[in-house]
Structure 1
Amino acid sequence: MWVAAAFITMISFGTNNTIFKWSTGNGLSKLHIQFFFYFVAFIVSFGYGAMNGILHFNLFTILLGSLIGILNANGNIQMSKAFEKGPASLTSPLIGTNALFPILSAGLIFHEKISLLQWLGIVFMLGSAMVIQYSPSSKRNTSYLPWILRVALAILSFGILGILMKTSTYLHINSVNILISMYGGGSVYLAVCSLLQKEKWRRNEAGVGAMVGIISVFGYAAYFFALQFGAASIVFPIVSLNCLIVVLAGCWIYKEKLKLYQIIGVFSAVLGILLTKI
């Protein structure tokens, strides 16, 4: 079940990233879409918790959840800025290495036991996620120092986020309360960022953000379930393969063609998944 939950998270995140790709290509603000998605997800998760009588907050839960939400929002912001500053061909693959942080913490901090074959599968999945996102034809003027800084901040944000998510399940904190704190804290952070950047608001950003928010609630609920009952060192690589959904959606929606190295990446990702299940 926890493997299935990890796949649900992968599909949810991939779907949302596809929506982000489409929306930014149509001139919508990724910052505003994130704000609406956080705000709607906060309302949905809070309503679910209230109806089921599972709202039990303390200062630690609120702070931990808010920090997770801020790190996720900041990671997305830094990633979008990195695309503006440096080579797109390397930005996604480099940021994808953030999964190494929670994977290593699973063994070093949470003492998970992973077999040699499973480690091989993890390497295949992470390598595939990096290869699939690589785009050698991308050309743009590069400001290397700002680009490297943005990439490093995105890697740290997403990497620490993964460790904190595993920590919340390790401490048996109710995932609904973490989600509410995560979306609430993230909403406040994004609202402040929006005020500082003074971007123009568009009406359809609310609709797109609401759809992303609902998908996100299901994705993160499955994510916490997978981390609670499964091996984090396997869950994180599976989730990192959400780039597969983006690539396949590009083939379907934009009629993009898979390059040879991407096809190899897809097959090596499947091999990696199989190895982790042996």
Structure 2
Amino acid sequence: MSLWFLLAVASAVVFGFSTFFFKINSFRKWPLMPFFAGVYGSGTLAFVVTAYLEGTLYLTPMIILSGIIVGIGSTYGNLLFMKALEYGPASLTSPIVNTNILLIVIMSVFFYGERLGFLEYAGILLIITAISILPLDPKEKLSIPNRIWYVYAFLATVLFFLRNGGLKVTEEMALPNTTILMVGYFVGAVWAVFAYWTSEEKKKVDGSTQRKGFVFGLVTGLFSYGGMQLYAVALQTGPASIISPIFATNSLIVALLSILYIKERLTRLQAATLIGVFLGIILLRV
């Protein structure tokens, strides 16, 4: 089994925990900006250390520009993802925003000439179909009383394409993705701190609750770093048209953890989609 495939699966699992922690922060109603500051603060430091060890701790105008674009996609994608979680379940929201993989697959095949076999196309199609049909579940519609959820979920999908697809572009440009992610997470950290100090949140929420959100964010940031770093390393040797669908299965981890921990109920259609994701992954490596 290829190393890049194992790295892609590991990235999905680790990042799935990170995404689930976003849901936990929302579930516990801890303040958002201290949490974001923790996520991007610890993530930035982790990428600094990794870039130093890789010998890629340097900046160029292109690295900075790429990092800003990836950072905007990550930061505002996560912000809108959190907003979407206020109106819909994590077991539904996370799979929907992960449909950005369709754009990455199209870009990889048509712009970068990646070649796939029949079974690989079948596996990708099965994963994308399984993730995409979740909004058709009539039972889930009952749990989304406000249609603004669709707006937040759509915008988060586009922004996450800037992050995930952007890393494919920079990999093709032979730029150091670890350093680009470092810049991107630093952008997120600066934005979170600025947004916190200019908001009324710090006055309305007691210090103890804010510290809890910040500390939980620090832990979440390490999982976010781990998932994104594994994804970036997998892209160095493997095809993005396969790695991206595998990475998108982090929504499977979120759905399972939400069911086990938050007691979100799994509908029959959701169960079928999860089975479809598993079968799709199997087809990718037959």
Q: TM-score with structure 1 length normalisation?
A: 0.88
Query: Which portions of structure 1, spanning 4 or more consecutive aligned residues, are displaced by more than 6 angstroms?
Result: 85-90
Once the two structures are TM-superposed, the CA of residue 266 in structure 1 deviates from its matched residue by 2.1
Alpha-carbon distance in structure 2 between the residues aligned to 1:129 and 1:196 = 38
- Among 41, 44, 47, the residue aligned to 1:45: 47
Mapping of 1:80-99 within 5 angstroms?
Answer: 80-84=82-86, 92-99=94-101
**Within the alignment, does 1:6 sit opposite 2:14 as a pair?**
no
The answer (yes or no) to whether the contact 2:123–2:280 under 8 Å persists in 1 is: yes
| Counterpart in the other structure of 1:171 | 173
Asked if residue 204 in structure 1 is aligned to residue 208 in structure 2, the reply is no
Partner of 2:245: 237
5+ residue gaps, structure 2: none
2:233 aligns with: 225
Q: Is the 8 A contact 2:23 2:82 kept in 1?
A: no
RMSD: 2.6
Q: Contact (CA 8 Å) 2:33, 2:193: kept in 1 or not?
A: no
Match of 1:260 in 2: 268
Deviation by residue 1:200-238 (Cα, 9 ceiling, x = unmatched): 360111211111111122211110111111111111111
Asked whether the equivalents of residues 121 and 276 of structure 1 are also in contact (C-alpha less than 8 Å), the reply is yes
Distance between the aligned counterparts of 2:56 and 2:5, measured in 1? 26
> Does structure 1 conserve the Cα–Cα contact (< 8 Å) formed by 2:36 and 2:214?
no
Structure 1: which 5+ residue stretches go unaligned? Answer: none
DSSP 3-state at the match of 1:27: coil
Write out aligned runs for 1:1-278 (5 A).
1-50=3-52, 53-84=55-86, 92-131=94-133, 136=140, 138-142=142-146, 144=147, 147-200=149-202, 202-278=210-286
Q: Is the 8 A contact 1:101 1:162 kept in 2?
A: no
Q: Could you tell me how far apart the structure 2 residues matched to 1:102 and 1:198 are?
A: 38
Alpha-carbon distance in 2 for matches of 1:66, 1:261: 38
Q: CA, structure 1 residues 243+139, in 2 after alignment: closer, same or farther (shift >3 Å)?
A: same
Q: Which moved more, 1:180-189 or 1:221-230?
A: 180-189
Shift of the 263–94 alpha-carbon distance from structure 1 to 2, 3 Å rule, reads: closer
Q: Report the 3-state secondary structure (helix = DSSP H, G, I; strand = E; otherwise coil) of the residue aligned with 1:136.
A: helix
Q: Are the aligned partners of 2:40 and 2:188 in contact in 1 as well (CA < 8 Å)?
A: yes
